[in-house]
Amino acid sequence: MTLTSSIPVLRSADYPAARAFWVEVMGFAVGEEGGDPVRFGIFHKDQAVVFVDAWHGADQVRSPAWRAYFHCDDVDALAGAVRGRGYSVDGPRDAVYGMREVSLRDPDGNLLCFGQEIAPQAG
């Protein structure tokens, strides 16, 4: 058996704000939404997918741990695009484990990391 991908499921206290973040800031498309009012969405961009669930609210502490990690092929371009839309991004920076990364928080405080594979640092 081979696992080929994973999909983060991020909780949200405010679905319209989360939707706007994923569509307007991150450039994802809405694949599917559910509820009346809408409280669940599936968002797509390139090969990445994220689920946003607002059925039970966010009820989480702003964790220093990543809630989702996305691989991309140009992390600098991603950071520039997000900053160009007026959103704060931390990085990019090169990690010792061979990834160039940026991180940011969505409107509910979920810490998201986007990484591009680079050569590992010597040492």
Predicted pLDDT of residue 44: 96
pLDDT of 2 > 70? The answer is no
Model confidence over 44-77: pLDDT tens digits?
999 999 999 888 766 665 667 788 999 999 999 9
For 40-45, what is the mean pLDDT?
95
For 70-95, what is the mean pLDDT?
94
Residue 40, H or E segment: strand 40-45
The pTM for the full model equals 0.77
pLDDT of 123 > 60? The answer is no
What contacts 24+ positions apart, CB below 8 Å, involve 35-41?
39/15, 40/15, 41/15
- Of 39, 45, 4, nearest to 22 (Cα)? 45
Other C-beta atoms closer than 10 Å to the C-beta of 106 total: 22
Domains annotated on the chain, with CATH: 9-57+65-117 (3.10.180.10)
